[in-house]
Amino acid sequence: MPMEQWRRSLRRLFANPLTLVSLVCFALLILAAVFGPSLYGRSATTPNYAAINALPGDEFPLGTDNLGRDTLARLLEALRVSLLVAFYVEILNIVLGATMGLLAGMFGGWTDILVTRLADVLFAFPGLLLAILITAVFGSAVTEWFGGIGRLLLVSGSLSLVSWPLMARLVRSQVLVLRETEFVSAAQSMGGSRRWIIVRHILPNIASLVIVTSTLNVASVVVSEAVLSLLGLGIQPPNPSIGKMITEAMPYLEQNPLQVFFPAAALMLIVLSVSFIGDGLRDVFAPDSQ
């Protein structure tokens, strides 16, 4: 896609009010996740048994949970976890899925057969159930060996394992179309190498597809991470995650419903913001996909 066309697409994107509001909301969530815990300065794991299930007030802006832990501090840490998992998954999704789809589409033959059959095998399993199986089997060992960061990477890896086949298939189908276009045929007739054709012609034309697909996938990744945490297979206590916060607050729903409301609202805001951003990107870069 030429640079001028990219500029026009970005102008169209920012002209959409809903997409613009979603971009601002998501940017604020990222800033809160990155800088919030340091600026707020309170522990997300230290209990305060004198303030169990406290309602929002001056001392605790969002109240406390069933162990007296500051809900705002935990929510800021949980936002960081959810967005880190989404970031890791999409990086792996792009590196693995887009690369394998590109190789399958460009080279065909055994490369194409291997990639498509591997994707078919993974598509045969329900994605979330496969992620649950992987985290259940390897979770304890990974946590024992590598601690919290290992658990975070395990969750990210399991979710990327079930999401890359879709990216690979989409990229492969797009590359198969581009491979037959006139400008690629002209480049081949002029003696252009496959590497030069990929860098000069294929990658710029699949960039928008990769961006839109990755953005739309963020919402499902965040929800899947929350589900894993709800089941006790995600980030382990005392470290907070959005799903874990909801699980821990459910038995106290009648006593303090706000402890369920705040993490659920944060989860909803992430999902809606990313979904609207993805829809806006799709309208701009891939209007024919409607």
Q: Look at residue 108 and tell me if it is in a domain.
A: yes
Q: Give first-to-last CA distance, the chain, whole Å.
A: 20
Residue with tokens 């999902």: 271
Q: Look at residue 254 and tell me if it is in a domain.
A: yes
Rg (CA), the chain: 22
The contacts found for 127-134 with CB under 8 angstroms, 24 or more apart, are 127/162, 127/163, 127/224, 128/162, 128/224, 128/227, 130/158, 130/161, 130/162, 131/155, 131/158, 131/159, 131/161, 131/162, 131/224, 131/228, 132/228, 132/231, 132/233, 134/158, 134/161
How would residue 4 be classed by pLDDT, with cut points 50, 70 and 90? low
- Determine the Cα angle at 263 with ends 257 and 269, to 5°: 120
CB 171 within 8 A of CB 105: yes
Q: What pLDDT score was predicted for residue 234?
A: 80
Q: Is 125 left (phi over 0), alpha (psi -120 to 50) or beta?
A: beta
Q: What is the pLDDT averaged over residues 154-172?
A: 90
Render the burial of 100-132: b for 16+ CB within 10 Å, e for the rest.
bbbbbbbeeeeebeebbeebeebeeeebbebbb
**Using one digit for the tens of pLDDT, what is the confidence trace for 208-220?**
888 888 888 888 8
Q: Look at residue 43 and tell me if it is in a domain.
A: no
- CA 52 → CA 48, 150, 287, distances in Å? 7, 31, 52
- Determine the Cα angle at 203 with ends 206 and 100, to 5°: 80
Looking at the structure of the chain, the number of domains it has is 1
Answer yes or no: is pLDDT of 177 > 50.
Answer: yes
**Using one digit for the tens of pLDDT, what is the confidence trace for 209-267?**
888 888 888 888 888 888 888 888 888 777 888 888 888 888 888 888 999 999 999 99
Instruction: Choose among 16, 34, 62, 15: nearest CA to 262.
Output: 62
How would residue 122 be classed by pLDDT, with cut points 50, 70 and 90? confident
Q: Look at residue 64 and tell me if it is in a domain.
A: no
How would residue 128 be classed by pLDDT, with cut points 50, 70 and 90? confident
Calpha distance 235→88 (Å, rounded): 15
Range of the domain at 112: 3-38+86-289
Q: Look at residue 59 and tell me if it is in a domain.
A: no
Residue with tokens 């993805």: 278
**Using one digit for the tens of pLDDT, what is the confidence trace for 19-51?**
899 999 999 999 999 999 999 989 998 999 988
Q: What is the CATH number of the domain that holds 271?
A: 1.10.3720
